[in-house]
Amino acid sequence: MSDSKPTFVPKRRQFCAGGVSLAALGSLSLSACGGGVDDAGSTISVTESKRSDAIRPAAPRRFVHPGLLHTAADFERMRAKVGAHAEPWASAWKALIANGRSQLNAAPRPLKTVIRGGEGQNFAQMYIDIARAYQLALRWKISGDVACAERAIAFLNAWSSTLTTISGNADRFLAAGIYGYQFANAAEIMRTYAGWAAADVARFQHMMLTVFYPLNHQFLIQHNGAEITNYWAAWDQCTLASILAIGVLCDREDLYNEALSYYMTGPGNGASSQAVYHVHPGHLGQWQESGRDQCHATLGIGLAGVFCEMAWNQGDDMYGYDNNRFLAGAEYVAKSNLRDGAGAEYVAKSNLRDGAGAFHPVPYTPYRNINAYQPVLSPESQGIRRPVWEMVHQHYANRRGLAAPYTGLQAVQTRPEGDGGNGDQLGFGTLTFTRDPMTGKVPSGLTARLTAGKVVLSWWGCAHASSYTVKRATALGGPYKVLASGISDLLSYTDAAMPASAFYYVVTAHIAGKESAPSAAARVVTGLTPHTRLKMDEAAGTVVADASGNGHAGALSRGATWTTGRTSNAVAFDGVAGHVSLPHNLVADLADFTVATWVYLNASTPWSRVFDFGSGPGHYMMLTPRNNKGVVRFGITTNFPAGEQGISGNAALPVGQWVHVAVTLSGSTGVLYVNGVEVGRNSALALAPFRLGPTNQNWLGRSQFPADPWLNGKIDDFRLFHGALSAAELAALMRT
């Protein structure tokens, strides 16, 4: 069974982002596109952010050159600003030309074999030469000094005619990733220099395709032979950045698509939904490595930012993917590494690098992977200043007009950015990414979740807005009633004072004394409402009708048949391959929820499924009649079984009789019922169905794991509800 999810590309450019097969280099094949759906979001019927259907372009992609971290337009801006002695570009230019690695007096030191990890490490020799080539390339493009261009290509040529191998322990994959994208960026700039001979360009491209890319591809599909959650986000992210950059440099659409597809739908920790592990209210996105240490968390921001910037320059908006999920992660990491009181004026007048005050508190959900459990945010290296923030902040605030206050404060503290000296990043973002200020116009990305019976709103603010106002109406378009105003920090609001009804919410911004137009509306239905009801009364055909009126009909598949049920008919599952398939993204609009059904087991086999909704073994919610400990269990995860949260009962579901089983979730409290009696409870569930993201494998009777057994029995009257039913309400439900 494939564990891949359908491929989605935001509307900036649409194409089929295919995966890469295990075929030899040069015969890489694209997989088929998955279908597109609306952006997943709990209880949202009206939303501003949509994911578009993925479509294959009519003709091969024509890459933009230069088109990795910097385009021709970017260099025009840099030249103009430096020439006009405008700040902060002028100071940033001085920092570049003062850097020891941007000088003309160094000679290349190429190696045949680069070693990172284990004995005989020599990788610093490579990253220093890459930094020299990149910085000299920048100097040439901005100043026009041909001597810098000639020196830059001397470094590129020396390495492409010498390097044959990257070796070492597992860290060799880091070297291939980090230095692969960096090398490609230096070469991408220099390919615009007429003095770089075509044969030399081709030799450099050959080096990237035969030395760097094979290690990149190997890691992405094998993860060094380890369980998928063993390696932290940065390992995937540097690999993705390298593959994407090599794809552009070498005009290889298959490589480019491999990286783009993996970022959106891949199973590893560097993919979007795993890297930003948990999005808290106010669109604060907990980073996958925030419980590990802040050095690696900030490294991940730099690497993911590089990936998003390079994709943007080729027309693909990974910055905006999944409602700006990367910005959510960047703001979280930025905030957690800033101290209280660190406003712009405070930063300008203080030396925060020496430490003063407490760090900003951020919410944290415990994180678990195959070899680590991290219950709290790590204080290790907290407050680290890494020169990666200008790129992120300048895109969101000054290219898109979104509020990104904490990345902005980080940028202020590292301005003007250098290269950091350790080879982790190319640096000099103040010079290369700074744009003139842009003022946002309308709040965006409004989401609304019914959680613990309350509506929790989050939105993206506008650059330079002073505050926000939240409004509510009972009809789309209003009239709207003001619920709260003056919201200025965490862009979230909880509405706890509403009856059971349908409501529409909007947010406005206050900019320079004026109120903006409202955001797109978010619709929420409060109280208990039917989501899906499969009565299973049919006696023929393959369609399982949805009596809720919401269009969630299922389909009998591969051996599932109609049979006698409790009162009418039911679906029989043969224990071999029979199952019911339900629509994609079935539970994408559920936060508080109830699932309830009748089950008749012919046999009790560990890890068979009553239901399993997900996109593979990394993202799922399931109910098994019997786990390996012999009890009924509900489980949900966005990080493979290692990260599963759940509720276990006290016995397996019985065999040879109809049993009613139900699961409810209200806020963080989940309850498991058998025949109306509570058999398990978990008051620390951080995951709700909407957090699964896009799901294309929503099944009754079948598991996300191909080795698990299929259900042998019958299911009757399967129901889903918005909201958590009480024990009394479940008892009444069993009688209907």
Here the CATH number for the domain that contains residue 502 is: 2.60.40.10
The pLDDT value given to residue 163: 98
Average pLDDT of the chain to the nearest whole number? 90
Joined tokens for residue 564: 């006698």
Which residue type does 311 have?
A
Pair 206, 236 in one domain: yes
Contacts with 291 (C-beta within 8 Å, 6 or more apart), sequence order: 364, 366, 367, 372, 374, 375, 376, 377, 378
Residue 59 within any structural domain of the chain: no
Cα–Cα dist 736/727, whole Å = 15
User: Taking CA 112 as the corner, what is the angle to CA 108 and CA 116, rounded to the nearest 5 degrees?
Assistant: 95
Domain end point (choices 525, 544, 559): 525
The residue-averaged pLDDT of 365-375 equals 95
Domain of 298?
72-433
Give yes or no: residues 521 and 536 share one domain.
Answer: no
User: What's the gap between Cα 482 and its chain centre?
Assistant: 33
Q: SS3 string of 386-436?
A: CCCHHHHHHHHHHHCCECCHHHHHHHHHHCCCCCCCCCCCCCCHHHHHCCC
Percent of the chain with pLDDT over 70: 90
590 shares a domain with 577: yes
Residue 19 inside a domain? The answer is: no
- Residues 710 and 684 both lie in one domain: yes
Residue 21: inside a domain: no
Nearest partner of 698 among 565, 562, 592, 595, judged by Cα:
595
Of 399, 433, 467, which closes a domain? 433
Residues 266 and 408 in one domain: yes
**CA–CA gap between residue 688 and residue 589 (Å, rounded):** 10
Q: How far apart are CA 460 and CA 480, in angstroms?
A: 20
Q: Contact at 8 Å (CB) between 232 and 288?
A: yes
Whether 356 has a pLDDT exceeding 90, the answer reads no
What is the residue whose two structure tokens read 């949509």?
A: 50
d(CA 613, CA 592): 16
**CA–CA separation, 452 vs 496, rounded Å?**
10
- Among the listed residues 48, 57, 79, the one whose alpha carbon sits nearest the alpha carbon of residue 314: 57
Kind of pairing between the strands at 697-700 and 712-722: unpaired
Read off the pLDDT band of 160 (50, 70, 90).
very high
Please say whether the beta carbons of 493 and 487 come within 8 A: yes
Please state, as a whole number, how many other Cβ atoms lie within 10 Å of the Cβ of residue 656: 11
> Which residue type does 14 have?
Q
Given this model, what pLDDT does residue 17 score?
A: 27
Q: Kindly state whether residue 571 falls inside one of the protein's structural domains.
A: yes
Average pLDDT over residues 417-426: 95
b/e map of 141-152 (b: 16 or more CB within 10 Å)?
A: bbbeeeebbebb
Task: Please name the amino acid found at residue 558.
Answer: R
Could you tell me whether strands 276-280 and 165-167 are parallel, antiparallel, or unpaired per DSSP bridges?
A: unpaired
Is the pLDDT assigned to residue 7 strictly greater than 60? Answer: no
Q: Residue 244 sits in a domain of what CATH number?
A: 1.50.10.100
Pair 238, 381 in one domain? yes
- What CA–CA distance (Å, rounded) separates 523 from 507? 13
By the 8 A CB rule, do 544 and 536 touch? yes
Q: Are 47 and 447 in contact (CB under 8 A)?
A: yes
Asked whether the beta carbons of 320 and 12 are under 8 A apart, the reply is: yes
Same domain? 507 vs 533: no
Ordered DSSP codes for 276-304? EEEEETTTEEEETTTTT-HHHHHHHHHHH
Q: Are residues 424 and 495 in the same domain?
A: no
List, for residues 516-563, the tens digit of each pLDDT value. 999 999 999 898 999 999 999 999 999 999 999 999 999 999 999 999
Report the number of distinct structural domains present in the chain.
3
Point out the domain boundary residue: 407, 433, 459.
Answer: 433
Is the pLDDT reported for residue 474 higher than 70?
yes
Whether 582 has a pLDDT exceeding 90, the answer reads yes
Confidence of residue 175 (pLDDT cuts 50, 70, 90): very high
The answer to whether 711 and 702 are in contact (CB under 8 A) is yes
CATH of the domain at 691: 2.60.120.200
Is residue 10 included in any domain, yes or no? no
* Residue 668 placed within a domain: yes
Instruction: Report how far residue 736's alpha carbon sits from residue 722's, in angstroms, rounded to the nearest whole number.
Output: 18
Closest CA to 558 of 573, 543, 540: 573
Q: Is residue 402 part of a domain?
A: yes
Cis preceding-peptide flag for 66 (omega within 30 of 0): yes
Is there a single domain that holds both residue 621 and residue 502? no
> Dihedral of the CA atoms 682, 686, 690, 693 (nearest 10)?
-120
List of long-range contacts for 78-85, beta carbons under 8 Å, 24+ apart: 78/141, 78/142, 78/431, 78/432, 79/141, 79/142, 81/434, 82/142, 82/431
Residue 2 lies in a domain: no
Same domain, 613 and 719: yes
Give percent above pLDDT 90 in the chain: 87
Same domain assignment for residues 388 and 515:
no
The DSSP result for 149-215, as a single string, is HHHHHHHHHHHHTT--EEESSTHHHHHHHHHHHHHHHHHHHHTT-TTS-HHHHHHHHHHIIIIIHHH
Say if residue 58's pLDDT is above 80.
no
Rounded Cα distance, 498 and 57, in Å: 47
**Do residues 262 and 380 both lie within one domain?**
yes
- Per-residue pLDDT, averaged over 116-137, amounts to 97
Q: Taking residues 605-633, report their average pLDDT.
A: 97
| pLDDT tens digits for range 679-728 | 999 999 999 999 999 999 999 999 999 999 999 999 999 999 999 999 99
CA–CA separation, 95 vs 414, rounded Å? 12
68's CB contacts (< 8 A; 6+ apart) are 184, 185, 188, 245, 248, 249, 310, 313
What pLDDT is stored for residue 27 in this prediction?
29
Sequence-ordered alpha helix ranges (H) in 44-145: 72-83, 89-98, 123-143
Alpha-carbon distances of 477 from 48, 216, 474, 736, rounded to whole Å: 15, 50, 9, 38
SS3 92: helix
Q: Is residue 1 scored above 60 in pLDDT?
A: no
Contact of 283 with 331, CB cutoff 8 Å: yes
E-only strand ranges, 516-589: 522-525, 529-534, 543-544, 554-557, 561-564, 569-574, 579-582
Nearest CA among 631, 632, 590 for reference residue 611: 632
What sign does the dihedral 498-451-460-504 (CA atoms) show? negative
